[in-house]
Amino acid sequence: MDPAQLAAGALAVAIPVDQILIQTVNGLVNGMILALVASGLTLIFGIMDVVNFAHGDLVMLGGFTGAVTIAATGNFWLALLVASLVIAVFGAALQATTLRPLLGRDPLTTILATFGMSLVLQKYAIWQWGPSARKIQEPLTGQFQLFYLEYPWYRILTAVLSAAIIGSFWLFLRYGKYGVWIRATTQDRIMASAMGIPVPWVHTGVFAIGAGMAAASGVLFGPLGGVTQNMGLDFTLRAFIVVVVGGMGNLGGSIFASIFISLLEAYASLIVSPAQAVIVSFVVLILTLLFRPTGLFVPTPK
Amino acid sequence: MTARRAPAAYWTGFAVVLVLLALAPLVLPEFWRRFVTEILIWGLLAMSSDILIGYTGMVSFGHSVFFGLGMYGAAAALLSVKPPNLWLALLYGLVAAAAVAAFVAYFATRLRDIYFAITTLVFSQIFYVIIFTWTEFTGGENGLTFAQPPLSIPGLWAGRFTPETLHWFVLAVVTISYLLLRRITQSPFGMVLQSIRENEPRTRAIGYAVERYKIVAVMLSGLFAGLAGILYAVQNKFAAPDFVFFLVSGEVVIFNVMGGMGTLVGPVAGAAFFLLLREGVSRYFTEYYLIPVGIIFTAMVIFMPQGLLGFAKRRLNE
């Protein structure tokens, strides 16, 4: 039977509950990885009005750094740590050299600058690591029975780890000394500066944290989808969508939006091909822009 | 606007450049002749986006959609109507580009600044996915190939395109478009666009329906971008999804920044500069030319935000 008929038939008799539940788990797992990328992006936007076009490329670089470390040491956890730290330092350097001079200029110029960065990073990755995809070996190979599927524990682990990273970051923002600095700078840059907070360094630090989180998600994603040179744009776009749907600069909102959109995409892939399921997130974005341009998960705008 | 002396200098310069461009195919070798024609086409695309970036202050990352729809519109006309007709290709391409531009404009202009940029980018991805996956109609990944239509100007000229006549045809279209765009930017409508760029809340407060102006600006811009797409389709005899991909939009933004936003001529110069740079750098870096070019671009954003022709901004707009 051809797939179209199958899909139509499946719709007619309603999709089996177990498939829906499996897609729910898939959606949650993908949503948590996406949330890890998006929270860095939204934080960077919230604090310095910079839309980081190269964010997805930091995910990609993190994935490659992780893959190289694993090839050298064979230890996944070490790779996760090394990739996050290396890319965080790299992010700090990028911010200090290209974004700091743009502080106070039109926010649009930062899009252009980060877009330039993104081009360079992408081509650099091809130059350095060649055009073929790298697969990262998962640290956990066990599986458990989820209805008719052998579901890998690793997927669950990525969701838990992502949640843990985001959670500890949230605690840091809430209670850490430097977390307070970050929140103060987000609220009022000039006042924070008047209170003696070194605002330029807070910016660099936040960019580094965002880059580190992006790198971590690149390593976590590695065993699931492989690391490729052009995965960056896909991540950037999805993270953008999530950040806009969740409300720019709103950490909680973008986490909800990541999960919401990933769930919708997972359900959509029951009916159409995964390539076409991407359109679902685009449609959500357009509807959001039409009816709640400030974001779905923020209090009603004034 | 007030100085009467400058326009004379401006029009002299304009005439000199035009004559040089018209003579170019007669003296240049085959490769460079084609190169100049391509610069003109990309230059038109860059000019179209300058209406938004330079004059209205909206960065569009979705110009590939309008360009691509122009290509596919022309392809539809050339494949479905026998014998292939150049003017029908123009018509179909413009209609396709205008339809998409209207759609994108309606949604995207509700947002400002960065949100507008992201929305246009997302739209270009939507259309890329549609064109890429709708294989029966668009040829999917392979795109569409077709025969070049003959150049027929009723009562004047009829015959096949040669490299020279193609160049002159492109030059004529680009020149007319430039003069139109220049006239538009200097019209009261263009003044409103520039005041939106300078201060949107104030423009609104004066009583202009800012949203409507923005929608018209995006549609105009899309129309001219579609025109560039049609020219490219006629020159290369194919339409491919690669040209709807976001990378083309990115290059258009690069042309604008390199050449100088808000000058119309600047983006054309930017396109020429970029293509020459790519040609030169590719000798040493092969397909990695975007590494040095990207670094140069980023440096220009930081240190030379006016671009190559930014210094002449006042004069070019007189």
Q: Quick check: B255 contacting A, CB < 8 Å? A: no
Chain B hits for A119, CB-CB cut-off 8 Å, are 250, 290, 293-294, 297
Residue contact B295–A248, C-beta within 8 A: no
Which pLDDT does position A84 carry in this prediction? 93
pLDDT tens digits along A38-64 = 988 888 888 887 888 899 999 999 999
Q: Which two tokens stand for residue B177?
A: 């478009």
Q: How far does the CA of residue B191 sit from the closest CA of chain A (Å)?
A: 21
pLDDT single digits (tens) B114-168? 778 888 888 888 888 888 888 777 777 777 888 777 777 776 767 777 878 888 8
Nearest to B59 among A102, A111, A289 (CB): A111
Question: In this predicted model, what pLDDT tens digit does every residue of B247-266 receive, in sequence order?
Answer: 888 889 888 888 888 888 88
Q: Domain spans of chain B?
A: 8-245
Q: Which pLDDT belongs to residue B1?
A: 46
Structure tokens at A209: 């944290």
Is some CB atom of chain A closer than 8 A to the CB atom of B290?
yes
Determine contact: B288 vs chain A, CB below 8 A. Answer: yes
- Tell me the HSE value of A189 on the side-chain side, using a 13 A CA sphere: 11
Instruction: Enumerate domains of chain A plus CATH numbers.
Output: 8-291 (1.10.3470)
Residue A252 pLDDT level (bands cut at 50, 70, 90): confident
Give the pLDDT score at A8: 53
Burial class (CB in 10 A: 0-12, 13-18, 19+), B23: exposed
> Which whole number is the average pLDDT over B23-40?
85
Mean pLDDT of A218-231: 84
Distance CA A18, CA A269 (A): 15
pLDDT over 70 percentage in chain A? 93
pLDDT confidence of residue A85: 94
Which residue has better confidence, A24 or A4?
A24
Residue A6 — pLDDT band, cuts 50, 70, 90? low
For residue B22, how far is the Cα from the chain centroid? 20
Of B57, B126, B301, the CB nearest to A113: B301
Stretch A225-248: mean pLDDT: 84
**Alpha-carbon dihedral A282, A288, A289, A292, rounded to 10 degrees:** -170
Other beta carbons less than 10 A from residue B224's beta carbon: 29
Residue B180's region, left for phi above 0, alpha for psi from -120 to 50, else beta, is: alpha
The residue of A102, A119, A282 whose CB has the most chain B CBs within 10 angstroms, and thus the best one to mutate to test that interface, is: A119
Write the pLDDT tens digit of every residue in A53-100: 899 999 999 999 998 898 888 888 898 899 999 999 999 999 998 888
Contact residues on chain A for B302, CB-CB shorter than 8 A = 98, 101-102, 113
Average pLDDT over residues A149-162: 85
Q: Is pLDDT above 60 for A225?
A: yes
Residue B83: cis peptide before it, omega within 30 degrees of 0: yes
| Residue % of chain A over a pLDDT of 90 | 15
What is the value of pTM for the model shown? 0.84
Note the pLDDT tens digit of each residue in B57-105. Answer: 888 888 999 999 999 988 888 888 777 788 888 888 899 999 999 988 8
Tokens of A105: 């200029």
> Cβ of A108 and B301 within 8 Å?
no
Query: What tokens appear for A211 in the block?
Result: 């880059």
The answer to ipTM > 0.85 is: no
pLDDT at A117 over 80: yes
Measured between beta carbons, the chain B residues lying within 8 angstroms of A282 are 122-123, 125-126
End-to-end CA distance of chain B: 5
Closest-CA residue in chain B for A234?
A: B125
